[in-house]
Amino acid sequence: MSENKSLPARSEIPVQETWALESIFPIPADWEAACTTLENLLPLLTVYQGRLNESPQVLLEAIQKLEEVGALLGKIVTYANNASSVDTFDQAATARAGQSRSLGAKAGAAMAFFDPELMSIGFDTIKEWMKTTPELAFFNQYIDRLKKRSAHVRSGEVEQILALAGDPFSGAFSIFNMLNNADLKFQPASASDGTQLEIGQSSIGSLITHPDRQVRRSAWQNYADGYLAFKNTSAATLTTAIKQDVFTAQVRGYSSSLHASLEPNNVPVEVFHNLIEVFKQNLPTWHKYWRVRRKALKLETFGVYDIKAPLTESKPVVPYEQAVDWICAGMAPLGEEYVSIMRRGCLEDRWVDRALNRGKREGAFSSGSFGTRPFIMMSYADDLFSLSTLAHELGHSMHSYYSRANQRFIYSRYGLFVAEVASNFNQATVRDYLMRTQTAPDFQIALIEEAMSNYHRYFFIMPTLARFELEMHTRAEKGAPLNADILIGILANLFKEGYGNEVEFDRDRIGITWAQFLHMYMNFYVYQYATGISGAHALSHGVTAGQAGAAEGYLEFLKSGGSRYPLEALKLAGVDMTNPEPVSASFGVLADLVDRLEALVG
């Protein structure tokens, strides 16, 4: 007899499995009061418009007011977005998230005068003010960044319009979020014994790693079919976001959307192109991995749904508390302070929302803002994959923790280019610890499977999506047509190149992958997963090998936040990402893992 296994409602989840959003605002009424306070602060900010040139003291006062507004807005947005993310059926939470975006646009418009007015004062004058007014010395990095992007800063009036456009421009992201996490319905997965398993964003990860091939196949197919049913809506939404990227790049005078994404962080576009070239050169390593997996699973044909199939019958069970213990042991080379902060966050301060519940959005993320604790959203499933995800998000959270603890508000947010370094550093360092301490063959195989799953996402899926993203933006910049079938066809061809002749090719289900990733709505974000994992492995190797100053240098990198350019911060920590060598070296690690797996599975 078939059985139906459903996800629980959010209201049924034990509080210890949820994050402590009440640490920001105890009740929604307090959030609403904070919104009112922010509304009242904005006029106090605009009184500085047209006055920044009066004196260094006036400039300092304006900066302090900007920081006050920014810190409060961060708390408002974090509370609203996080509540909506874990329960997309909660209409009140959804409304608050929308309201926070509107407030963000209002605040952005109120602050839009700031950079153009600084430019009108003149960089030499402001540099002189910083010498004569010690309280302004901290502002040097901000001014240096502004000077570098000054050609792309528009008049105060235009900047205000662009800031106000932020709210309607978030529409594509909002539509994706609601379609993806609330409205999309999937046919259940079917087990070999007839059991029906509910497919949701919080359960798909565990279903495609299930030992029952029928579960994996039906879960992967039905998940993709859910997106294919809305392919035209999804394509219209994504192309709108792409055209918005192109519009913003053109208004600001960048030569392309890629330049608009990289140049503000002082990252040369060659870093992007170097990554893609190294990725293409190393595709044979992926072809070998598919072959090794197919033989280990004793399959005649190998499908996408077999990529994460367990290779041993004794799949390690890793309860949440055990994962925390192992992660803390693995990160011990960074010192007692780092470990104790992380352990307390996981077990006492409720940083982590780990529940599996209906309406929870897909994936995992770390969030928070200046003046809040870090928050992690994930769906913990008692396995090594979940342990790895937890380690990854804790890397983000600890990066944010140290950045906010050591920098003023204006430097507390770090660039996207370095965001994925700290997360992958944790994964690599914890994995190294487990490789050395958990030596049973089955556990070693499971560890390599987890490592390869991580590499698959960051060194296969993300570079492929980056190639797709470049093609889509290039087409939009040329005014070429974009629709669902074109998007599916282009991505399917790119994946075909990556899968070679080793993976059974289901064109439409593979080609619709772009519709499943929120990252497609973040202008050229995905390539940074691959550069991040490369930088992370280089830094982790130095720390785990006990190289003199490696741990201290890494902690300084975390503490630097946005006070340095990303490439500069990484170079000071010990890795040069302007050179393709770290990416090539990471592919070397990947190739070694494939060889080790081949030897273990025989």
The residues annotated as belonging to the active site are 393
Residue ranges of the alpha helices (H) in 47-90? 56-86
Dihedral angle computed from the Cα positions of residues 138, 144, 149 and 151, in that order, rounded to the nearest 10 degrees: 120
Q: Are residues 448 and 464 in contact, defined by beta-carbon separation less than 8 angstroms?
A: no
Amino acid at 270: E
CA-CA distances (angstroms) from residue 306 to 28, 34, 82, 439? 44, 49, 33, 25
Please list, residue by residue across 502-513, b when 16 or more beta carbons sit within 10 angstroms of its beta carbon and e when fewer do.
bbeebebbbbbb
Distance CA 328, CA 487 (A): 43
Q: What is the 3-state composition of the chain as percent helix, strand, coil, each rounded to the nearest 5? A: 70, 0, 30
Given CA atoms 314, 320, 326, 331 in this order, what sign does their dihedral have? positive
Distance CA 159, CA 168 (A): 15
Q: Both tokens of residue 243?
A: 């055209």
Return the closest-CA partner of residue 374 out of 12, 11, 20.
20
Q: Both tokens of residue 253?
A: 């005078």
Q: How far apart are the first and last CA of the chain?
A: 38
Return the closest-CA partner of residue 200 out of 179, 184, 176.
184
